């Protein structure tokens, strides 16, 4: 069996100072880690090296920069080198540290779930904003009873963020992947939202169609990448994130029509639908939400100016 040291030494392109174990303190560990990752074309090399060293030492960034002269034990360095090597070999940083931050909370991530993306926070923002302005989902008070569905919950990030923002909400979170739901349940328990979220394994919202009560808000970040785009995805996405979370079909947009049809049946009159959009889905979704069941259609751009969220009210 290969030892840790074999793994590191076997990584031929490892930065020489790392290979020779010239690193003695946190400052050098960081600068050599950054140089190594940059030489391997890993994006955000500085942030990544910091995160991997923080994870190795189980310390936060402030501690790291307050102790830059601290000498690191050989075993600690070995651990850090292995993480650097694995990252350079394409594993996402979040799979190495086990976490991703979303809406101010830490979410456990595994290869069974999509790593929550910052742009998905716009889904939460739109839900809060439209409700606060009375333009979606019934009563404008956040503490009023409120029924929500998150379709394709993955890590549970949308459902749990909404549970945080709407403390009186009862939430159903669906996913077709049993493995993803395990991760989502774990995250809900860690974030103290578990008592208000029911996790349901089903296709879209199939299992909710028999419910007598309707919903105030349905939110979703469905898979929306076209199968033909797989090769153009970054390696860490293509090889390490679940295909069921990425690909919506040949065109990528295939799940929106059945999702919107179910939402029309499940929302209360005036209930709010909020959907994340892929780079090629705004026009398709706009056409679907131009139907007579929907009113007050809006598109919200992300920080890069890309149409990112579609929202509409059940009329």
From the list 58, 72, 89, the residue with the least C-alpha distance to 30 is 72
CB closer to ligand SAM, 83 vs 310: 310
| H-helix or E-strand spanning residue 300 | strand 294-301
Question: What residue ranges bind ligand SAM (CB under 6 A)?
Answer: 113-114, 116, 120, 152-155, 157-158, 174-177, 180, 203-204, 221-223, 244-245
Of 192, 185, 150, 189, give the one whose Cα is nearest residue 167. 192
CB of 181 to ligand SAM, least distance (A): 9
* Length reported for the chain: 315
Least distance between ligand SAM and beta carbon 158 (Å): 5
How far apart are CB 259 and ligand SAM at their closest, in Å? 8
Q: Considering the complex, what minimum distance in angstroms separates the CB of residue 272 from ligand SAM?
A: 17
Choice between 72 and 274, CB closer to ligand SAM: 274
CA distance linking residue 278 with residue 276, whole number of Å: 7
Residue closer to ligand SAM by CB (options 136, 223) is 223
Nearer to ligand SAM, 223 or 252 (CB): 223
d(CA 42, CA 14): 13
Residue closer to ligand SAM by CB (options 23, 275) is: 275
> Nearest approach, Cβ of 92 to ligand SAM (angstroms)?
13
Q: Which is nearer to ligand SAM, 203 or 301 (CB)?
A: 203
Residues contacting 108, CB < 8 A, separation 6+: 98, 99, 155, 183, 186, 187, 190
Cα angle vertex 285, ends 282, 289, to 5°?
A: 130
What's the closest the beta carbon of residue 109 comes to ligand SAM, in angstroms? 9
Report how far Cα 207 is from the mean position of its chain's Cα atoms. Answer: 24
Coil/strand/helix, residue 132: helix
Query: Which C-beta is closer to ligand SAM: that of 94 or that of 153?
Result: 153
What CA–CA distances, in Å, run from 19 to 31, 77, 236? 14, 11, 24
Instruction: For ligand SAM, give the closer residue by CB, 243 or 295.
Output: 243
The residue assigned the tokens 């303190």 is 25
Rounded to a whole number of angstroms, the minimum distance from the CB of residue 203 to ligand SAM is 5
What is the rounded CA–CA span in Å between residue 100 and residue 186?
14
Of 205, 200, 122, nearest in space to 161 by CA: 122
Report the nearest approach of ligand SAM to the CB of residue 290 (Å): 24
- The helix (H) or strand (E) run that includes residue 314 is strand 307-314
């Amino acid at each position: 069996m290969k030892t840790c040291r074999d793994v590191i030494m076997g990584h031929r392109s490892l930065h020489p100072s790392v290979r020779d174990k010239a690193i003695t303190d946190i400052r050098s560990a960081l600068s050599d880690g950054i140089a190594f990752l940059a030489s391997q074309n890993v994006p955000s090399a500085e942030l990544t090296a910091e995160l991997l060293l923080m994870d190795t030492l189980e310390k936060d960034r402030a501690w790291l920069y307050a102790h830059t002269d601290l000498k690191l034990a050989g075993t600690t360095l070995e651990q850090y080198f292995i993480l650097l090597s694995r990252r350079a070999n394409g594993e996402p940083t979040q799979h190495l540290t086990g976490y991703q931050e979303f809406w101010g909370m830490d979410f456990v991530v595994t290869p069974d779930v999509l790593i929550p993306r910052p742009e998905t926070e716009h889904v939460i923002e739109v839900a809060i904003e439209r409700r606060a302005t009375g333009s979606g989902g019934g009563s404008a008070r956040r503490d009023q009873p409120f029924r929500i569905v998150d379709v394709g919950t993955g890590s549970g990030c949308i459902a749990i963020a909404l549970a945080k923002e709407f403390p009186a909400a009862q939430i159903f979170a669906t996913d077709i992947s049993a493995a993803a739901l395990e991760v989502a349940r774990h995250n809900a328990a860690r974030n103290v939202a578990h008592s208000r979220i029911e996790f349901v394994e089903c296709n879209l919202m199939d299992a909710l169609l028999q419910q007598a009560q309707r919903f105030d808000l349905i939110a979703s970040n469905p898979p929306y990448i076209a199968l033909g785009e797989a090769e153009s995805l970054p390696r860490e996405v293509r090889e390490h994130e679940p295909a069921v979370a990425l690909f919506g079909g040949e065109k990528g947009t295939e799940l929106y029509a059945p999702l919107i049809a179910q939402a029309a049946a499940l929302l209360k009159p005036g209930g709010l639908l909020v959907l994340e959009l892929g780079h090629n889905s705004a026009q398709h979704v706009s056409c679907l939400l131009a139907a007579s069941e929907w009113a007050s259609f809006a598109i919200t751009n992300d920080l890069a100016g890309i149409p990112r969220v579609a929202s509409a009210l059940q009329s």
